[in-house]
Structure 1
Amino acid sequence: MTKPPSPNGQSIRESFFAHHPDVRHVLRLFDHLPGTLFYAKDTQHRYVDANQRNLRDVFGLERLDQLLGKTDLDFQPVALAEAYHAEDRRVFSSGQMVANQIWLVPHVAGAPRWYVSTKTPVVDSQQHVIGLAGVMYPIETPEEQASFFRELLPAVRHLDQHYAESVSMSELAAMSGLSSTQFNTRFRTLFRMTPSEYLLSRRIQDAQDRLIGSSQSIADVGLAVGFFDQSHFTKRFRKYTGMTPKAYRKRFRGDRS
């Protein structure tokens, strides 16, 4: 059952836009840009706006008031939410745009997708930063993937297709035509995570989908995504999402077993 609108969230939004009453009308343009995800946050990382595609595809929500006043920690795995917030703080502290960053964004239905993200500060009449506005567009075609991932493209594709298997980092480096050190440095620079962290994120995201959408046991879910020890799976899952696989399933699927 959907929770009723939060008056607090709406008041947060109204307070934010009181500094720029005309901006909200401009922002509605983003509802008519196919494929583009838009959002705005205040300096406490609380959402004050988002377009319909973002609400539907990323958050699984029907109405804006279900998002207002909440942060990424209310929707995303802890590790990903903290990474989003760290980049937000770069914008808040510098007052400068952070452009063309690559993010792997989870979707409520289907596999996560690659996006190019740009965030820009929002300032009041005295030029004080009061939040940020962000847009993301998907990296979809092979040409776009080659343009952004460059020599890492074969390794990224291999990880996306074989993350549930044993993956050799030295083989990934060889696919990219780089030494292991060069490969790790390039990967971390581009994606803000190591290849091993990316591998873990893909496994956990698959596990999340299986916990919600299948009747597999927790042990079988762990095996299916590449964890051969249930305790290790539980430990990694909890570190990434902030809850155990059992608690995650109960919260998002409503299991009482």
Structure 2
Amino acid sequence: MESRTSGFMVAGDLRWRVWNGVVADVWNVTCNERAEGHYVSPNPRLFVLLEMEGTEGRFEVSHAGGRAAHFETVSMCFVPARMALTAQAFNLHRIRHLDLHFSENAIRQRFGRSFDYSRLTQERLQFTDARMASIAGLIAKECITPQPFHRKYGESLIDALLALLFEVPPERTKRRTELSRRQLVQTTAFLEAHCFETIRLAELAAMIDLSQTHFSHAFKASTGMPPHRWQMHSRIRKVQEILVAREASLIEVSNIAGFSDQAHFTRVFKNIVGVTPAEWRRQNLS
């Protein structure tokens, strides 16, 4: 994200987490009497003002051609991708806020065709929602705690917050036939064991005596993703184990994992995890 600030100063270390393509930042910021910042992000983001301190102080956000929105705790602001935003603090000593950064692909992975993608272009400069405020507080706490819960806890909070933010309706699709438990265990175990190899759809379908089309639809109905995507997730999980267990270079890890080159490896890793392999390794070795 591009930013220019005057009068804002970060207090302490930035705390952040990544959950399935969504980056959550918690900022503690001290302010001069009239602090100001200008921000542009390539991705959509949600800004949540968690706390502010200052006698008769106020916090405002605005964008070119729009009126300023006055914030109260806990107020929120949804900013579409590439929309320039100005934030101003008047007579405030300190603010604490949560930022969620996410891509269209992160939304697609969660909600698929149930999502109205035009919502990503509709700014909401100031609004409040008690349910979202409660979830945002839990996400912020999970970012700063030294002993976080299982990743599924954070992912479920992110999913719930995004569903509320965009008012995502229930998915209305015809339920497809799923694989039996035996078939699912057999195929997913094979994908896990051979995740670094090239696996053909025909090979998986023949393993449980189904046509390729039937198998593909049944696998996705059972797991929520196509076989190839499942394999990529398995591959990246194994790669993460290598990144923290070995001192191998990223090129060596890319070759071990069967990617065509380091650029392909980085692209797939960031698409699934939300950050590059180098960034993830720094975060998990620090």
Q: TM-score range by the shorter chain?
A: 0.3 to 0.5
In terms of Rg, which structure is larger?
Answer: 2
TM superposition score normalised by structure 1: 0.47
Going by fraction, where is strand more abundant, 1 or 2? 2
TM superposition score normalised by structure 2: 0.43
Going by fraction, where is helix more abundant, 1 or 2? 1
